[in-house]
Chains A and B, each alone.
Chain A
Amino acid sequence: MPGKLKVKIVAGRHLPVMDRASDLTDAFVEVKFGNTTFKTDVYLKSLNPQWNSEWFKFEVDDEDLQDEPLQITVLDHDTYSANDAIGKVYIDIDPLLYSEAATVISGWFPIYDTIHGIRGEINVVVKVDLFNDLNRFRQSSCGVKFFCTTSIPKCYRAVIIHGFVEELVVNEDPEYQWIDRIRTPRASNEARQRLISLMSGELQRKIGLKVLEMRGNAVVGYLQCFDLEGESGLVVRAIGTVCTLDKLSSPAAHLPACNSPSKEIKEIPFNEDPNPNTHSSGPSTPLKNQTYSFSPSKSYSRQSSSSDTDLSLTPKTGMGSGSAGKEGGPFKALLRQQTQSALEQRGGSPHRFCRRREFPFFTLTAFPPGFLVHVGGVVSARSVKLLDRIHNPDEPETRDAWWAEIRQEIKSHAKALGCHAVVGYSESTSICEEVCILSASGTAAVLNPRFLQDGTVEGCLEQRLEENLPAGCGFCHIPYDELNMPFPAHLTYCYNCRKQKVPDVLFTTIDLPVDAIVIGKGCLIQARLCRLKKKAQAEANATAISNLLPFMEYEVHTQLMNKLKLKGMNALFGLRIQITVGENMLMGLASATGVYLAALPTPGGIQIAGKTPNDGSYEQHISHMQKKINDTIAKNKELYEINPPEISEEIIGSPIPEPRQRSRLLRSQSESSDEVTELDLSHGKKDAFVLEIDDTDAMEDVHSLLTDVPPPSGFYSCNTEIMPGINNWTSEIQMFTSVRVIRLSSLNLTNQALNKNFNDLCENLLKSLYFKLRSMIPCCLCHVNFTVSLPEDELIQVTVTAVAITFDKNQALQTTKTHAEKSLQRASTDNEELLQFPLELCSDSLPSHPFPPSKEHLESASANSGIPAAQRATSVDYSSFADRCSSWIELIKLKAQTIRRGSIKTTVTVEKASPVGEGTFRNRSAPPCTNSTVGVVKMTPLSFIPGAKITKYLGIINMFFIRETTSLREEGGVSGFLHAFIAEVFAMVRAHVAALGGNAVVSYIMKQCVFMENPNKNQAQCLINVSGDAVIFVRESELEVVSTQQSAPSCQSSCTGGEVTT
């Protein structure tokens, strides 16, 4: 009997009137846990009952403690008829199960009814007495901490980052059980809420067990999702990153290291680098052999090997993959495929952790300094599946196998990029009827293995600072062999250190590393796309979708690339591509934050080429467009303050300037390239991305490029944690959710009209946000998260959650920024001076390149951007197509042995800890947890609160609500209904956090918002799933420390002492 749960019902307030005669209520409460129920006395005739009950005690297994929610039902006593339910409160008692989190849950909870919404509040106190249980075979995993935050939580230190953990549980959806026909909507909703609560408890417990198995003590970046598969069931799945975390008792202990003046971080000969994998001397050829045991050509041939198997299943490699699985078939085929290709590859990795873990994935998006060595680029995989009923909920192999397949694919893509790990990893689904698209994406990366091993515990933290990774650009250096590039890309020498090769653009799913050197500010970049699809059934439908996917991926990518260039930037962070499937269309929405990385070359412009050069007016039109584009680029550069230091042509050169070979390379790759391909590095600042306007579609594309309106002045937006280039945040934050649904006007829509509608929808939504939040100017919308769904034939729903944070425009970045800027400037000038001989990094390839036939021109253009040229030509056959898609990833890693100037290091140091002395830390080490301001609970999708310090994590918040109405008009129509519901969800989240003793939710995310309406019946239903981390924060101004800097949100330097900015 390892636990005793104690519950006390104190009082209620603002109860609804249940007895019309007296205008009062005779309320009592049922408290249920597992199969045990207690009741309070009936408190007669009051809307504000004071029950003041005894302690209700439940003696339960800790397994149940983890799985079961505490269920509190408030009822109105009725002598003659059945008691009427007023509403319920579900309390997840998980936070009480870890020693460091909350010790008591006590407070006012909204009483929620799925039909009426919130009806009054109830004051409850909950405690748990846990008995130690030494049973090794226990089924519970109490004590494992969960964090939604996708970085190492503040006030913890990562001792070891073990790696990926996943689990899923399935069940029948109560909504689709036969009994649902005879029970009330309320009973059905409640059954569903309860089931999901149970399932997520179970899931968390199972994940916890895996964590203990891996000898970790926490899951960071925990992402739990529901797949409402309709008839075929309900899947709850979760992924996360297992870590061993240490609570930071005294942050000062780590500070010396972080604070150590940059000058001391001297260049250390690279052979001292204890990581043999990261330094390959010389021009990187050895690296390939060391790092992975397969050659790129092999990864390309994988395609063919898998296509031997059942045709309909061909798991397409590459992101544009889709496999329309037949019922029953997929699993078998998958196994075969795995044995054939993937499994054998897995064995070859020399990295210890790779061997240990099946999937070297990390759901983190921000890392301790030194953790991320190189970034290879985005890897993603999708697969189309047909849902069938889950026959045995206890054996969810099918779903497991589906995901295993996808993950395997991701893993091999990462390998193809010369990376042994995937960071910023996430998974998602889109379901329409019986078709389901599974997607996974992440960023291939090379990590510093010392964080991943046991036993390196203490040493690594200090060591890593002395390491000689070029801070600020190291992660940009390519991890793959430039002579065996997995995809065509333009390489140049790093503009920062001049030592290593970098790609011309870099796409990633992670947050911008704190030490990255960025010029100017960043901005939100979105690609939006719709594709009509014929309505079809089952397999035909799945096939149609599979066939469309690669084209969508490709177009989304092209759009992103165009928009990035239009902004004058060269890297994307936080990239998230969502493909949504509907009855008659597919929608693609990609969001990312564009930045200008100092290490990467200046992006070329966009050139427009017409196809009929003889038509005068057409020419004129083209040149007009060209001018507009050039103007826009110039304007954007100004807007985002992108003024990279001028680098004269002379010092940039290309060692291998043979443009023609590049096209050859492409072609050869498109078959199966065993030959060693020669790399063409030729490109200069002048090279341009060419858009060919050969039909109206292309025209539309160009127009749509130009219709994206920049945010009004004073506004910035990004979808990453913080805005690159802004770090003087002030403390005002406003988290919000905005939902829009549009009905498409006609049934015979064209792709173009659809695209325009979708584009307008998103743009207008953004405009509305800017308008609404105008009182916060200057401010930045951070973590802008768009979700698209297609609830019905002609409906498009877009949900946005983000946080607006004010910043101080005038207080010019005081310490932090100025230092960073200075050192940045110094770095760049130093670098120039330093180069005693001009390094030829680039030469002008395009001018010298004969490209009269537009097609070839095109190829070179797309090659510049890293897109296989063949993709542009629609004539390409699909099989080879998919493969090359896999690498539309751009990016690269570094070989770390080269040392950069110490001056750059300063930026790291400065951003992390700035001039706070040790003394101040000591003062602060015991911050009084006085959350004096009663009631206010902040919510933010970010992992930090500007101007404040998180002192304690109280546990994970993971809530699922259903709301239904049969009086839609009376509740203000769909807008009124959903507005009220979302407000209620926020209220319930805040109440739970407050009851845990917290004053904020960080890493808040609305994972699902499924809205269905039936206006004819005056009905609507909505399901919302939210999660986040409940925390206690203390305002920095409240800390009794002379604050030397204004809230530096060093959020991303998730490690330890760096955070402790005063």
Chain B
Amino acid sequence: MTSELDIFVGNTTLIDEDVYRLWLDGYSVNDAVALRVRSGILEQTGATAAVLQSDTMDHYRTFHMLERLLHAPPKLLHQLIFQIPPSRQALLIERYYAFDEAFVREVLGKKLSKGTKKDLDDISTKTGITLKSCRRQFDNFKRVFKVVEEMRGSLVDNIQQHFLLSDRLARDYAAIVFFANNRFETGKKKLQYLSFGDFAFCAELMIQNWTLGAVDSQVDDMDMDLDKEFLQDLKELKVLVADKDLLDLHKSLVCTALRGKLGVFSEMEANFKNLSRGLVNVAAKLTHNKDVRDLFVDLVEKFVEPCRSDHWPLKDVQLFLNQYSASVHSLDGFRHQALWDRYVGTLHGCLLRLYHD
């Protein structure tokens, strides 16, 4: 006796959260059944393995049918085939678009192309996330990217509108899209200590301040591309380190203000010129795409690492950065105050976030 056909269709579509998770995690039906058995569900419910198998198959089939709709979540809301309560719909979508930290760290900043997709095998092996799940997550990134690129309006809003994600998840996707679009390098060894959250935080700041959307809300791609003009202008900041008088003045202003307040004052004083040179040079280099990609590498190399090697406490970094950016306003010879603020305001936030072990 073999089951040829075995289905269950409810007027309200049954969604089992546990099975959904297993499905999202890319387990095969058999693996999922084994995992469910291990969870002790048979003992709790008195069911048999056959029942569990049938149940799992059913859910998988349902999810498979829903998947097409999940690719365009508004369709899930308007479709008539599956009657699903709104709270469940939200759960389905949110979970479907949720991603693994380990996975996103691997692909963050990479081009969402076929080439990267081919590397998913390796990522799967490396992270222990099933290939299926990797594909789903990758495809989600790519899908969101495709839909919102070349769209007007706020990136987060667009994502929310087209994918009905929660605010948090939409922000994460905005970061992913932003990173993928600008191809920021995040995979270098020295960046490994950074979490996706760190990058997402920086992305949000950068979107708010450094993109076209920060100055003009009526352009396509406004939140995706960095403001080219702004990047060009950043060259002007070079004067801060190129002009020796200005550099000295800047240093003395900062040192005067921080004397006695900083635990690592002497280290700071000794390193000031290096640090400032590093930060300003990063800015000046942003005209080249290649250097834009290395932004985080540079920030870590030029600022985070030197400070860390001198054991600056975070509080001191904060004080320093406050003073460092504010003091520029007192440099009479410096004419690019607004530009400086736009640059250093974001940098300030990012560096604080990046500064940890």
Contacts and interface: CB of A to CB of B under 8 A. Distances in A.
B12 A734 contact: yes
Contacts of A742: 1-4
Given A121-B80, A939-B11, A980 B65 contact: yes
A265 interface: no
B241 to A, nearest CB: 53
A736 B9 contact: yes
Contacts of A979: 7, 9, 58, 61-62, 65
Contact of A745 (B2, B5, B10): B2
B7 A978 contact: yes
Contacts of B65: 976, 979-980, 983
B6 to A, nearest CB: 5
Contacts of B10: 734-736
B228 interface: no
A974 B5 contact: yes
B114 interface: no
B120 to A, nearest CB: 24
B46 A987 contact: no
A938 B57 CA distance: 25
Contacts of A769: 8
- Chain B interface mostly: mixed
Interface string A767-801: 11111111000000000000000000001010000
A761 B1 CA distance: 9
A972 interface: yes
Contact of A741 (B3, B50, B51): B3
Q: Which of A734, A743, A980, A983 has the most CB of B within 10 A?
A: A983
A739 B51 contact: no
A928 interface: no
Interface residues of A, number: 54
A852 B78 CA distance: 73
A975 B61 contact: yes
A808 interface: no
A743 B81 contact: no
A764 B4 contact: no
Interface string B58-85: 1001101100000000010011111101
B55 interface: yes
A986 B13 CA distance: 11
Interface in B45-59: 45-48, 50-52, 54-55, 57-58
Contact of B45 (A774, A939, A975): A774
Nearest to B47: A771
Contacts of B79: 14
B14 interface: yes
A741 B5 contact: yes
Nearest to B54: A768
Contacts of B55: 768, 771-772
A292 interface: no
B52 to A, nearest CB: 7
A8 interface: no
B45 A771 contact: yes
A188 to B, nearest CB: 24
B75 to A, nearest CB: 6
Contacts of B57: 975
A258 interface: no
Nearest to A769: B8
A13 B78 contact: yes
A760 interface: yes
B9 A767 contact: no
Interface in B287-336: none
Contact of B8 (A121, A768, A937, A939): A768
Contacts of B3: 740-742
Contacts of A984: 81
A972 B65 CA distance: 10
Contact of B80 (A118, A741, A978, A980): A118
Given A118-B80, A739-B7, A972-B64, A772 B58 contact: yes
A432 interface: no
Given A14-B75, A772-B58, A938-B11, A764 B50 contact: yes
B82 A771 contact: no
Given A744-B1, A774-B45, A738 B11 contact: no
Contacts of A772: 8, 14, 55, 58
B11 A734 contact: yes
A965 to B, nearest CB: 14
Contacts of A773: 14
Nearest to A978: B7
Contact of A764 (B2, B5, B51, B83): B51
A983 B81 contact: yes
B319 to A, nearest CB: 55
A426 B8 CA distance: 27
A978 B51 contact: no
Interface in A973-995: 974-976, 978-980, 982-984, 986-988, 990-991
A931 to B, nearest CB: 15
Contacts of B14: 734, 772-773
Contacts of B45: 712, 771, 774
A290 interface: no
A768 B6 CA distance: 10
A634 B80 CA distance: 48
Contacts of B6: 739-741, 768, 975
B55 to A, nearest CB: 6
A646 to B, nearest CB: 33
Nearest to B79: A14
A974 B50 contact: no
A936 B64 CA distance: 23
A358 to B, nearest CB: 39
Interface string A741-754: 11111000000000
A757 interface: yes
A946 interface: no
B342 to A, nearest CB: 41
A947 interface: no
A110 interface: yes
B1 A768 contact: no
Interface string A719-747: 00000000000000011111111111100
Contact of A712 (B1, B46, B75, B78): B46
Nearest to B9: A982
B83 A743 contact: no
A966 B51 CA distance: 30
Nearest to B57: A975
B67 to A, nearest CB: 12
B1 to A, nearest CB: 5
Contacts of A640: none
B167 to A, nearest CB: 25
A769 B7 CA distance: 11
B256 to A, nearest CB: 65
A770 B78 CA distance: 31
A890 B6 CA distance: 37
B47 A937 contact: no
Contacts of B46: 712
A199 to B, nearest CB: 27
A737 B58 contact: no
A739 B54 CA distance: 12
A108 interface: yes
A1020 to B, nearest CB: 10
A757 B1 contact: yes
Interface of B: 1-14, 45-48, 50-52, 54-55, 57-58, 61-62, 64-65, 75, 78-83, 85
Given A735-B11, A744-B1, A772-B14, 8 more contacts: A121-B80, A738-B8, A768-B6, A772-B8, A772-B58, A939-B11, A979-B58, A979-B65
19 contacts: A13-B78, A739-B5, A741-B3, A741-B5, A742-B2, A743-B1, A744-B1, A768-B54, A773-B14, A936-B85, A972-B64, A979-B7, A979-B58, A979-B65, A982-B7, A986-B81, A987-B80, A991-B80, A1011-B5
Lowest 8 A-B CB distances belong to which pairs?
A: A741-B5, A736-B10, A741-B4, A735-B11, A982-B9, A979-B7, A939-B11, A987-B80
